[in-house]
Structure 1
Amino acid sequence: MSTDTATSPNGTTAESPSLNILAQYTKDFSFENPGAPRSLQARERAPAIGINVNVNANPLSETEFDVVLSLTAEAKEGDKVLFNVELAYGGVFRVTGFPQEHMLPLLFIECPRLLFPFARQIVSDATRNGGFPPLLIDPIDFAQMFTQRMAEEKVRAQVANTNVTN
């Protein structure tokens, strides 16, 4: 495999930015239907469904990263759980030629954006195979999630600094 290079105006060569998926995998998966077969009966109204999303990234080498998209979904009718789905879906990504300041957005926005359709399909198939209508998770704004996470970490760091100086 060859690497693309570009020559800058000062004559130096730089690697062209590249983001490649080397592997995708299901790291952990669980589907629970604790009330079956009663939970499969027709109901007058749709259950309340709560969905949580998380993204983690860990370096495997200087250019390869393991990014894991975690999705959990729980359907409830009152206080009874109808189903619970937990999925950790990962990908190994090779990232080369990007400036350091672009690495976190790549790992926490672009990589999960590439993984999401596959994870969404697994959740949809699991709920359908569990006897429920397929749960089609709406598209996720990973950029907004990343911005919110960075703001929360900034606040935590400020609180930690305040506690240290007091």
Structure 2
Amino acid sequence: MANNDEAAKTGTDATKNGNGSQAQPTLNVLAQYVKDLSFESPGAPNSLRPRDKAPGINISVNVGANPLSEKEFDVNLTLNAKANFDKEVLFNVELVYGGVFRIDGFPQEHMLPILFIECPRLLFPFARQIIAEATRNGGFPPLMLDPIDFAQMFQQKLAEDQAKAKVQVS
């Protein structure tokens, strides 16, 4: 017990590192939640019959982030998957999966990559499982989404935003 008291007096406890500066930056998940979940199978039960070939599946992904306070942020990962066979919609599933994150001690220039790359990367495995269960519960094989490269998505979005800014300036 004396060691803990001594550490608190000298400032060498877990809140500071050896040179007296502040602790390492932190990223904490405070909560995760389903904001919206929708599954539609408009042709059921006919859409459940076996087929000779696999349906076409279109998947879209979007990430949004909103500040809740100076250090807390709500990050939403939106996944849409629509399966079609010829012109028939077999199923359409939409999930908005959110997380509340406490982000502290990072330089300002790191905030957007943390919010749009790291936070959705942490949420994705849970959202993937929900999509798989929803499609399985709808009578289809579970839809196992491939891993998503959120860094590439972020870079692509930055490039698109820069291109739009150049067009508007011209």
The TM-score normalised by the length of structure 2 is 0.89
Gapped regions of structure 2 (runs ≥ 5): 1-12
Aligned length: 158
Please state if 1:115 is matched with 2:123: yes
Find the aligned partners of 2:62 and 2:119 in 1 and give their Cα distance.
13
Give the alignment of 1:16-165 within 5 angstroms: 16-162=24-170
1:67-126: CA deviations, max 9, x gaps? Answer: 000000000001110000000000000000101111000000000000000000000000
Find the aligned partners of 1:152 and 1:6 in 2 and give their Cα distance.
40
Q: Cα RMSD (Å) of the superposition?
A: 1.4
* Letter of the 1:151 counterpart: A
Find the aligned partners of 2:165 and 2:130 in 1 and give their Cα distance.
36
Q: Which structure would you say has the larger Rg?
A: 2
Find the aligned partners of 1:67 and 1:17 in 2 and give their Cα distance.
19
Give the superposition deviation at 1:16. 1.7
Find the aligned partners of 1:3 and 1:86 in 2 and give their Cα distance.
42
Maintained 8 Å contact 1:7/1:14: no
Where 1:82 maps in the other structure, the secondary structure is: strand
Find the aligned partners of 2:22 and 2:67 in 1 and give their Cα distance.
22
Give the superposition deviation at 1:7. 5.9
* Letter of the 1:59 counterpart: P
The TM-score normalised by the length of structure 1 is 0.91
Find the aligned partners of 1:3 and 1:155 in 2 and give their Cα distance.
45
* Letter of the 1:158 counterpart: K
Give the superposition deviation at 1:46. 0.5
Find the aligned partners of 1:133 and 1:156 in 2 and give their Cα distance.
40
- Higher normalized strand content (fraction of residues): 1
Matching residue of 1:6 = 17
Q: Which runs of 4 or more aligned residues in structure 1 lie more than 2 Å from their structure 2 counterparts after TM superposition?
A: 2-8
- Amino-acid identity (%): 65
Worse-matched range after superposition: 132-141 or 150-159: 150-159
* Letter of the 2:85 counterpart: E
* Letter of the 2:139 counterpart: G
Gapped regions of structure 1 (runs ≥ 5): none
Maintained 8 Å contact 1:54/1:69: yes
